[in-house]
Amino acid sequence: MTQKLIRLPEPTLLFRHSQAMEDPRDGLTLFGPLDEISPYGIRAGVVGTKEGIRKYRNWVQWIQGPIRLEPPNAARPPFPGFESAFRIPWAPDPILSLEINESELKANAGLDDRHQRVFKTVNVYAHAIEEALTNEEARPDVWFVIIPDYVRRYCRPRANVAPEDRIAAIRYFSSAKQAKIAYDEPFLFEDLNVAAEPYLYKEHFRNQLKARLLKHTIATQVLREGTLDNLGNLGDSRREKGLRRLQSQIVWNVATTAFYKADGRPWKTAGIRDGVCYIGLVFKKDERGTSDKSAACGAQMFLDSGDGLVFKGAPGRWYDTKSKNFHLSREAARDLVGRAVAEYKRKREHQEPPTEVFIHGKVEFWREEWEGFREAVGAGTKVVGVKIRDDSTLKLFRDSDTPILRGSAYLRNERSAYLWTRGWTPRLATYPGMEVPNPLSVEICQGEAEMGTVLKDILALTKLNYNACLYADGVPITLKFAEAVGEVLTSGPLPEKGPPLPFRYYI
């Protein structure tokens, strides 16, 4: 194959009435979302302080009308109002409103032991939601968790509490490592196991909250009070001018993820071949116990319909210290992908298996691992392994003031190429970046496929991020949230196996 530089056409997205557009914001404004969901709209539950709930109500009231930039900017188009874009209402008053005690919240968010601080702060919100699930008849589609800015500041890895807010915690162990022994083997005395529980979770508020609520299969959206505080009433300081330029995009993002978490697809890609599914492998070192080799694995499967599911694989010693990469055993690979294929068949009308399975990863697959994948999909299904990584070794420059076009691809040979998913975008009349865009390195490392088809699929998969309403991402959705999903899978003790959960519970 002769080396050559080509330009792929920009993938389009499908909206209501099978209308296709490049930019999701154009499609939602003109035609509405792909799915029609409950005419009652977003049935929201809100948990927060009295002030946080007030700000939520005001913010939802604010987004009922148009929000625009002055002057207009094609990269950040105006928001037309929630009901105008999504064709359903979102009432400012939630169907359930849970007020938490701010004094209790501050007492926990100020503890000087990081593990206890995050665990007990999550408790304040998680216990309120769990109590409502038990005692209330109303069932929100989405829970909005409104946190003061100090919760975000103090409840994340390596955060330290300011001296004026610091509260001494009662310590039962000389170190976190001593407490983590309980993860591998419980202590003889139950009170020690209870005291060790905060140390079995990652000290990250958002990830820990989602991990602890997975068993309830509820969708959550964490919002800072500071995010809800804009309301268009920003001044002329440099910082406030910067926030004003982002306002419409923030609203687009939150509104889109709210619709998705209420079980509606805002859009799907046009032209995806029927019978194809895409699987992105998820790995994360598991630091909850005392072993430095244990890791959690999972798979993100995306169907031709745009639906996404997350499968949790068995934990094990998947991290190889020599190659510094993750690899599954043959049995674990067969089990993980086998469950994904079984779920694919269950979702199809006639229970037919996929005709093609593309497995995306950041490293090459070992032979035993690949044999497990092949055994899982069966003889009638074509399986292709694709290695995708950001690559900064190749830079292309244009004799112009604008960088290389998004969708450009340099074909090295039949199995290797560079793909620019970031670059100058004619529809936006800009490049949404600061530096010379780097390409993705794409390599067909197992199986057989036409490189042009692989690149078109990857470019299309950069437009399926329902957690934001952007023209496109730089990474396909199969790998975009691998790190975030891995963080949730390793944020706390989870069942060894369980039914696959929709992607919306993890983001």
DSSP-assigned letters across all residues of 275-342: TEEEEEEEEEE--SSS-SS-EEEEEEEEETTS-EEEEE---B--EETTTTEE---HHHHHHHHHHHHH
| Per-residue pLDDT tens digits of the chain, which is 507 residues long | 668 999 999 999 999 999 999 999 999 999 999 999 988 899 999 999 999 999 999 999 999 999 877 666 767 889 999 999 999 999 999 999 999 999 999 999 999 999 999 999 999 999 999 999 999 999 999 999 999 999 999 999 889 999 999 999 888 887 777 777 766 677 777 787 778 888 888 899 999 999 999 989 999 999 999 889 866 565 555 555 566 667 888 999 999 999 999 999 999 999 778 889 999 998 887 766 555 557 778 889 998 778 888 888 877 888 888 888 889 999 999 999 999 999 999 887 768 899 999 999 999 999 999 999 999 998 889 999 999 999 888 888 888 888 999 999 999 999 999 999 999 999 998 888 888 999 999 999 999 999 999 999 999 999 999 999 999 999 999 998 887 888 888 887 665 556 788 889 998
Contact (CB, 8 A) for 269 and 237: no
Contact (CB, 8 A) for 248 and 76: yes
CATH no., domain 276-505 = 3.30.420.10
Q: How far apart are CA 246 and CA 265, in angstroms?
A: 24
Sequence ranges of the domains in the chain: 39-262, 276-505
pTM of the full structure: 0.91
Q: How far apart are CA 491 and CA 506, in angstroms?
A: 12
Phi first, then psi: what are they for 358, rounded to 5°? Answer: -105, 120
What does the longest C-alpha to C-alpha distance in the chain come to? 71
DSSP-assigned letters across all residues of 117-144: HHHHHHHHHHHHHHHHHHH-S---SEEE
Q: Which two tokens stand for residue 83?
A: 């009901």
